[in-house]
């Protein structure tokens, strides 16, 4: 069966190599496409590797059944969808082949030369290289237009980041397709210009090098430096532990040696790494839960040099021009599981960050001080980190919120950037309408950032937060140009409120969970207009249980009650653009939201709020009913004031603390006070 996506048909996907990462790549493909009937074929010349890879995939999926991540029927389908073979001819007819063989130019070239004889001209060839430039990998091929690097990160079936690295001969249409394709299957691709090591590995291996040099100098043991680096950078695991987990010593040894020639002289293979490889043992790192002792002076020295190396390495990538602030921020945080670099520099001060990098250059004279960091420090301003992006398609501006780690949750940076972008759209005479959407396929916006809400201390704080958010939504609602919300996934809380401020909403078809106002589960009420706009869009009777229970509804329910205008198959952004153009041309009429006071019925249906706070429910009923009798403008201010009153309650604290500790899986034990 063919999967038609973004103008191409995907009938079969191939993975070459069943070693360290190939099986994980195949597992991810099968997980997201097994229901579409698109088979995944894994090829390896070693029968042992094939059996090992198959066992690894089955083992991971079996554990998924035990944890409740998958149903047994799903696992059976995923397993059956992957075939394991030594026969390259089984890749005949594949539309995408990802090579995940050994990091060796000659081996990779041999693989693709063979594939070129087997696969049709339309097949996209990708190498999961971690270092080699695409121009080197594909040099011997006749058709290099369809070739590029797709660099996965460990573990490939869970890490969302992939680096997409086109070569000088790669056709731009292929790159564009691969970027959209990987977003559609749940990854977060970043486009990187061709250079040895790409954007992320020089940071990963550079941090390891800095740690190794500190051990060599005798400032600390492997255990101590590993533990300090983990704490200093917010790493999931320390740099030496990461080498053990990924089996990365030999690749890093080669990578650092090549970076010495291809990036800058500071990169080199430290003697401690050569010795570790020669004895063939893992690094002696802290055991899980082990407390590693060190004195404060050593901690400060190691911490400062590790941070300086981190900031310098990230800014060197920026200096090189192969990537940008937004992509680096997202990729480093997610792929390397560590503190986001530019937010971290802003937090401690860009000038202080520059001092730390200069201290590294003093410690290691060949360590470069990036030009861009010096310029930013001299400006006296923090880094501007984009989370909201605008792309114009003729006379329609497409605005995308991208914070995949938090499912595109709204924080102050996102709200500020939305206001700036929509203000520019309002002034731009070339733009007749806009589409607002979210990055990825899981969420449009998962809500307001819970950390922002948890910091609220007083009713005045809460009311201010609500009014500031409402101001941005009011800008969108009153833009003077149609704004179509293209719901690419769920919209909860502030996400649904943002969607309701748009002229109209469309959603991907068949979403079992689309929108909801879960604020009562946190011990609060909506603050960005949910209690006012939802009744005016769908009617008070239909809004009443949705608001008071906090339970979500599906896309089919949303279209039935009139919350969305269309359910869409295919590309939601393109559908949003098409819908916007229909509204602009007058082919589709969208009724504006009712701004006058509403007629409130004498009685409304009983609603079972279960475990939810009765105190919060009182505030919510007050906001809904009293707000309905006001104009929309008055009702919004009333909601903000009532939202502020929630800050006086015990239940708001209980709800917030419960969510921060347990997430949405455990009900808060409200006191109803």
Catalytic residue positions, numbered:
497, 519
For the beta sheet containing 490-492, the strands, ordered from the edge strand earlier in sequence to the opposite edge, are 443-445, 490-492, 515-516
Residue 519 CB contacts under 8 Å (≥ 6 apart), including other chains: 493, 525, 526, 527, 530, 550, 620
List C-alpha distances in Å: 548 to 111, 551, 599, 617, 651. Answer: 59, 8, 19, 7, 15
Q: Minimal CA–CA distance to 331: which of 316, 341, 318, 321? A: 341
Contact at 8 Å (CB) between 336 and 405? no
List C-alpha distances in Å: 34 to 38, 40, 55, 331. Answer: 6, 9, 18, 27
Q: SS3 of 567, please?
A: strand
Q: SS3 of 396, please?
A: strand
Q: SS3 of 366, please?
A: coil
State the Cα–Cα distance between residues 639 and 620, nearest whole angstrom.
9
Q: b vs e for 581-598, b when ≥16 Cβ sit within 10 Å of the residue's Cβ?
A: bbbeeeebeeeeeeeeeb
Record the tokens describing residue 252, joined without a space. Answer: 């890093």
Contact at 8 Å (CB) between 164 and 179? yes
State the Cα–Cα distance between residues 192 and 200, nearest whole angstrom.
10
Q: b vs e for 333-366, b when ≥16 Cβ sit within 10 Å of the residue's Cβ?
A: bbbbbbbbbbebbbeeebeebbebbbbbeebbee
H-helix or E-strand spanning residue 3: strand 3-5
């Amino acid at each position: 069966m063919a999967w038609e996506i973004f103008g191409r048909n995907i009938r079969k996907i191939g993975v070459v190599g069943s070693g360290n990462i190939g099986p994980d790549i195949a597992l991810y493909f099968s997980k997201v496409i097994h229901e579409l009937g698109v088979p995944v074929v894994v090829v390896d010349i070693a029968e042992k590797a094939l059996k090992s890879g198959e066992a690894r995939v089955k083992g991971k999926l079996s554990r998924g059944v035990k944890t409740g991540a998958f149903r047994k029927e799903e696992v059976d389908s995923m397993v059956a969808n992957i075939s394991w073979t030594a026969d390259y001819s089984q890749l005949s007819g594949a539309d995408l082949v990802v090579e995940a063989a050994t990091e060796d130019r000659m081996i990779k070239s041999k693989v693709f030369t063979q594939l070129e004889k087997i696969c049709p001209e339309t097949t996209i060839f990708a190498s999961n290289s971690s270092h080699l430039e695409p121009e080197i990998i594909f040099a011997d091929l006749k058709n290099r237009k369809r070739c590029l690097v797709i660099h996965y990160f460990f573990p490939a079936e869970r890490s969302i980041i992939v680096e997409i690295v086109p070569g000088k001969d790669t056709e731009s249409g292929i790159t564009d397709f691969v970027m959209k394709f990987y977003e559609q299957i749940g990854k977060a691709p970043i486009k990187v210009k061709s250079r040895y090591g790409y954007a992320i590995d020089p940071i990963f291996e550079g941090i390891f090098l800095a740690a190794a040099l500190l051990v060599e100098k005798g400032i600390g043991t492997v255990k101590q430096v590993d533990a300090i680096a983990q704490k200093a950078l917010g790493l999931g695991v320390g740099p030496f532990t990461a080498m053990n987990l990924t089996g990365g010593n030999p690749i890093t040894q080669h990578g650092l040696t090549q970076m010495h020639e291809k990036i800058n002289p500071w990169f080199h293979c430290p003697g401690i790494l050569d010795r570790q490889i020669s004895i063939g043992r893992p690094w002696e790192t802290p055991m899980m839960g082990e407390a590693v002792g060190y004195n404060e002076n050593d901690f400060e020295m190691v911490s400062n040099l590790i941070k300086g190396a981190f900031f310098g390495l990230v800014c060197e990538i920026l200096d090189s021009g192969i990537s940008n602030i937004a992509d680096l921020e997202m990729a480093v945080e997610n792929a390397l599981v560590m503190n986001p670099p530019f937010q971290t520099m802003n937090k401690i001060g860009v000038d202080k960050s520059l001092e730390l990098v200069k201290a590294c250059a003093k410690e290691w004279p060949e360590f470069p001080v990036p030009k861009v960091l010096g310029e930013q420090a001299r400006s006296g301003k923090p880094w501007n980190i984009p989370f909201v992006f605008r792309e114009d398609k003729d006379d329609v501006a497409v605005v995308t919120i991208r914070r995949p780690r938090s499912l595109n949750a709204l924080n102050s940076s996102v709200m500020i950037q939305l206001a700036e972008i929509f203000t520019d759209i309002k002034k731009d005479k070339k733009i007749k309408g806009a589409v607002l959407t979210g990055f990825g396929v899981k969420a449009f916006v998962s809500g307001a950032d819970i950390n922002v809400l948890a910091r609220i201390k007083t009713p005045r704080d809460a009311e201010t937060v609500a009014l500031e958010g409402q101001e941005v939504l009011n800008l969108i609602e009153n833009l003077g140009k149609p704004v179509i919300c293209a719901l690419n996934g769920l919209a909860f809380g502030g996400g649904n409120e943002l969607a309701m401020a748009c002229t109209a909403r469309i959603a991907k078809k068949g979403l079992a969970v689309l929108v909801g106002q879960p604020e009562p589960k946190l011990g609060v009420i909506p603050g960005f207009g949910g209690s006012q706009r939802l009744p005016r869009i769908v009617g008070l009777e239909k809004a009443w249980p949705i608001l008071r229970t906090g339970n979500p509804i599906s896309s089919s329910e949303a279209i039935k009650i009139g919350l969305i205008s269309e359910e869409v198959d295919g590309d939601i952004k393109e559908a949003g653009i098409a819908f916007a153009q229909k509204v602009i041309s007058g082919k589709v009429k969208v009724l504006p939201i009712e701004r006058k006071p509403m007629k409130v019925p004498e009685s409304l249906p009983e609603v079972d709020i279960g475990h939810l706070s009765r105190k919060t429910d009182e505030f919510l009923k007050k906001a809904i009913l009293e707000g309905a009798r006001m104009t929309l403008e008055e009702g919004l201010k009333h909601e903000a004031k009532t939202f502020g009153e929630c800050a006086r309650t015990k239940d708001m604290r209980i709800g917030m603390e419960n969510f921060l500790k347990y997430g949405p899986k455990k009900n808060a034990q409200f006191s109803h006070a």
